[in-house]
Chains A and B, each alone.
Chain A
Amino acid sequence: MAEIVAQQTDLIDEEYFINMGPQHPSTHGVLRLLINLHGEIVNDVKPYCGYIHRGIEKMCERNTYPQIIHLTDRLDYLSAHQNNEAVCMLVENALEIEIPERVKYIRTIIDELSRLGSHQLWWAAFGMDLGALTTFFYGLRDREKILDIFEETTGSRLIQSYYCPGGLMYDIHPNFQKRVKEFLAYFKTKLPEYDELLSGNVIFINRTKDVGFLSKEDAISFGVTGPSGRGSGFACDIRKNIHTMCTTKYNSTKLFVPNAIHLLDTKFVLPKCGNLFRL
């Protein structure tokens, strides 16, 4: 592949191609990039996607609705509940099933916990990829607490398959409420610790500030949403968008959607976590 790419472009002096293959600490085995480098400046990137494409859509064609939960779990395996929420909402809206209020509350709480867990892993791995190994330990230490709560209630730590179209597989564990409240109180005290660790660090700032700048128009045009979009000034949070017809309880909670100026700044994780919901 590299030879074909090299033949198609004019090779300038000091410009060379590097294959950032699927086996690379940062690509995490899912992406292959052919990078056209000029020193340390990336001129062009040719991505080769599909290493993690598992044919889930095709498999879903052959399964019943409760069965596809086990497949869609694995779409974004760091926050498995949120994928299932989307699928369950889809089936429930299509079949016009009304789910109990209690289920809506439980689903919202568990969704947000899994979002917290996913974001923990994000910034932990991000710091680690930049060389700050401590962030990995701090982030995962607290993620383990969330996973312990999940294990008690759903039976499994990572890919839980807890939701099903129409409700939940089974009710929450009696300890669930107490443990979540304890965890949140503990987590709030840890947020300043994370802030102190990464946000002001001069190496982190130099490696991320103004690197890979994405303007707001480009972010909208490319469809970059979530934290990356917010880093570009595009405040897109699907939880707040009315047209998604959320069956969850986001309307009754105060949701602050921050708009960070720096791309990939850890600061936007913190206000998000801090204002998530009141139990």
Chain B
Amino acid sequence: MTNQELQQRILELAPQAVCTESKQYLTAHIPADKLYTVAKQLKESKDTKFDYLFSLTGVDANPALGVVYHLESTELGHCIVLQTMTENREQPMLDSLCDIWKGAELQEREVFDLFGISFNNHPDMRRLFMDDDWQGYPLRKDYVDTINIIDLIK
């Protein structure tokens, strides 16, 4: 499917989505409540068949927190980028995509560990790298750690 057709399909599934096109990929900003349905449709629908999630990245775009998903179809060859944001910095919650793509499980744990975004329906929502009792979320832009981080730029 071309980017135009993908854009149409996204807008059918989530009318409030905002699609932008860059040199490489079509990026679709999806509202958080529609993310799971859009993702599931993109995977299962015969003409999109996005079976390969090759990147799940947490983003701290002050003031919002969110996740960026890079999807590819191994059979049909097209790619798309989905992006979701949530304004809630105290208790950010997004839907988990573990049951759609198994690789999302560990990557969502990483996002939870480093950004604090909690994923609903995740089978094992706990930190991945840091200790279980670590306070704070290291990759956030407002993370302060005077002991471990040496700030060379004042």
Binding site for B on A (CB under 8 A): 49-50, 53, 55, 57-58, 62, 93, 217-218, 220-223, 225, 234, 236, 242-243, 245
Would A62 and B153 count as touching, CB distance under 8 A? Answer: yes
Nearest-neighbour CB distance to chain A for B21, whole angstroms, equals 13
Would A220 and B149 count as touching, CB distance under 8 A? Answer: no
Binding site for A on B (CB under 8 A): 23-25, 51-54, 72, 74, 77, 79, 101-103, 106, 128-130, 138-139, 149, 151-153
Would A223 and B54 count as touching, CB distance under 8 A? Answer: yes
Would A245 and B153 count as touching, CB distance under 8 A? Answer: no
List, in ascending order, chain B residues with CB within 8 A of A243's CB: 24-25, 72, 77, 79
List, in ascending order, chain A residues with CB within 8 A of B24's CB: 93, 243, 245
Provide a sorted-by-A list of 9 A–B residue pairs whose CB atoms are within 8 angstroms.
A53-B129, A57-B139, A58-B149, A93-B23, A93-B24, A220-B52, A236-B52, A243-B72, A245-B23
Q: Give the A-B pair count, Cβ closer than 8 A.
A: 45
Would B52 and A50 count as touching, CB distance under 8 A? Answer: no
Closest to A51 in B: B129
Nearest-neighbour CB distance to chain A for B54, whole angstroms, equals 6
List, in ascending order, chain B residues with CB within 8 A of A93's CB: 23-24
Q: With A234-B74, A245-B24 given, is the CB distance from A223 to B139 under 8 Å? A: no
Q: Once bound together, how far apart are the Cα atoms of A160 and B29, in whole Å?
A: 39
Closest to A235 in B: B74
Nearest-neighbour CB distance to chain B for A238, whole angstroms, equals 9
Nearest-neighbour CB distance to chain B for A2, whole angstroms, equals 14
List, in ascending order, chain B residues with CB within 8 A of A223's CB: 52-54, 101, 103
List, in ascending order, chain A residues with CB within 8 A of B128's CB: 49-50
